[in-house]
Structure 1
């Protein structure tokens, strides 16, 4: 099937299935309740929108499997980045994360049980082949298998939880992830792969189908979406063959806010596991920013990181590492500036 026809079909199928399932999930009455602490909404909101995103994506994967069986020439073997076996493990791991998220959305899993289940997938996926082959740097490459497996497990655990922490404002986490998938595809296109994998179009379109409803405040992605979609990015990125610095650059808009917030709370001696409103995006909302304004800011940051990651992938050598450093430093400084300015504004509002 010519790509000129393939990409619009993928967008239509993934987006429409996602939109339909999201609308359907609003009737399931699994609600995100206001808590007066971390959450900003004033009324209960349905929170299984992630099911729609994953349904749209896997509908395309199912169709692609049928078409490939009928005529392998139509799609080739690079519908998603990575080898067939690794892709299968990545998809299974993403579904595992989504299942844990869904269980937590519906029945509030025991925290210890949830952690054990997440760790099992984080360790199991790298052992089954979903791991970066090397950690490259200007100072030499690390290739020790045990180190790569441990590092990949840590990346999967940290990134999925970071994305879940960022899922507290309409359009933020899922919108940023959509830009990250776009950046992943562009990096592959400009890099050695030379092609934007069609499967990545599917998850972007499925995310768009969800965002149409989410940005009206009518549904949340929930843990099923935050965990499932972020795990899909984390696993596919690891098996894409791209430099770890290209992957890390794509993830900066999520990682910086999460890691800097954890450092802040640790410095204050506060618990790292309790609900809070200390993220930079939460600080902006507390001072009057709307969900749209916060989302657009983070989408812009994600688009900029995606563009730089793509340039780094195309240039190769030490460029991905250099671009990562050049972005990580100003983003970290920007985080500090936002926190300080919002803190000062909040203090003035209290005095008034």
Structure 2
């Protein structure tokens, strides 16, 4: 693929996403304020994720045609992973997005939605979308049953985390763009090929959406959070990179979600009801703007991308060490934000 063709495909990705996201505003599917968690001043269209995924599908078709091998050819240096795994990962991505879109349009029963997500997360590793090993300084796990269960758990946790963090303009989808960039950078610097142009195109589709989103005109909805979250989660598994490298990339979303769930459990609060207890929500309540909060998480995601690449290049125990160092740093930051906001945190004495 020549540089000019690559640039053209990235440009097409951006503009196709921008135009298709603009079209979703006219569907009439909106996110209405409820006075609790949804505090916008007016109904906002919420099918931006459909526009992103439609643009991804379009660019995949165009890229296949450019390669001339088949109208639907994918593989090689286009996306990370073996061709069959790439196909399965993309198919699952659109299925996750379809579940999200159905929820955006029809407000699925939470139990039904969770059951559908769980079915996809279990099916994915059975189709080959799974880690091949879990290495650490204490030994390497290669037992298939553990890797399949772990991969299914990873998919379920991360895809839901990307949705839980999608409550501030630009935060979740923008962070996912940086995570995908970190994934590509780690592959390139660790000698596993060049930066996959398919990832660059997907990042560009997120950029086309963010033009609308950062102006407060369009939300990604569950279709975007589930679909784009699944892109990162599935391609992370089949990339061949160490599991700890992928986990490091995901830390900015995972830490806020997991510690918030722990905190709510500690306080005896229900885990799956709408709330405003995330660290990013505390910053917004303290007067930070959406773009300021998003930029903090973008910066954290960029830092994790650099750390993940360093770990992937260094190999050995370095990815494991960097993951836990950054996890400790982010945990300290989360605790600081919540203490500043006056919220009780796990381990804090009841008063």
TM-score computed with the length of structure 1 as normaliser: 0.95
* CA apart distance, 1:174: 0.2
Q: Which residue of 2 aligns with 1:248?
A: 247
In structure 2, distance between residues paired with 1:243 and 1:70:
31
In structure 2, distance between residues paired with 1:122 and 1:91:
14
Contact 1:131 1:239 in 2 (8 A): yes
In structure 2, distance between residues paired with 1:71 and 1:207:
26
* CA apart distance, 1:6: 3.0
Q: Which residue of 2 aligns with 1:349?
A: none
The correspondence of residues 19-58 of structure 1 with structure 2, limited to 5 A, is 19-58=18-57
Inter-CA distance 75–272: structure 2 relative to 1 (3 Å threshold): closer
Q: Give structure 1 regions of 4+ aligned residues with deviation exceeding 6 angstroms.
A: none
Instruction: Give the unaligned 5+ runs of structure 1.
Output: 345-352
In structure 2, distance between residues paired with 1:83 and 1:75:
10
Q: Give a deviation string over 1:37-76, Cα, whole Å, max 9, x none.
A: 112311110000011211222222111222223499x987
In structure 2, distance between residues paired with 1:153 and 1:54:
22
In structure 2, distance between residues paired with 1:68 and 1:85:
17
TM-align CA RMSD: 1.5
TM-score computed with the length of structure 2 as normaliser: 0.95
Matched, 1:228 2:227: yes
In structure 2, distance between residues paired with 1:218 and 1:225:
15
3-state DSSP of counterpart to 2:76: coil
3-state DSSP of counterpart to 1:136: strand
How many residue pairs end up in the alignment?
Answer: 342
Instruction: Give the unaligned 5+ runs of structure 2.
Output: 344-351
The correspondence of residues 117-132 of structure 1 with structure 2, limited to 5 A, is 117-132=116-131
Q: Which residue of 1 aligns with 2:307?
A: 308
* CA apart distance, 1:226: 0.3
Q: Which residue of 2 aligns with 1:291?
A: 290
Contact 2:260 2:277 in 1 (8 A): yes
Q: Which residue of 2 aligns with 1:193?
A: 192
* CA apart distance, 1:192: 3.2
* CA apart distance, 1:191: 1.1
Q: Give a deviation string over 1:156-202, Cα, whole Å, max 9, x none.
A: 00000011000000000000000000000000001130311110001
The correspondence of residues 135-174 of structure 1 with structure 2, limited to 5 A, is 135-174=134-173
In structure 1, distance between residues paired with 2:341 and 2:58:
43
3-state DSSP of counterpart to 2:141: coil
Inter-CA distance 21–71: structure 2 relative to 1 (3 Å threshold): closer
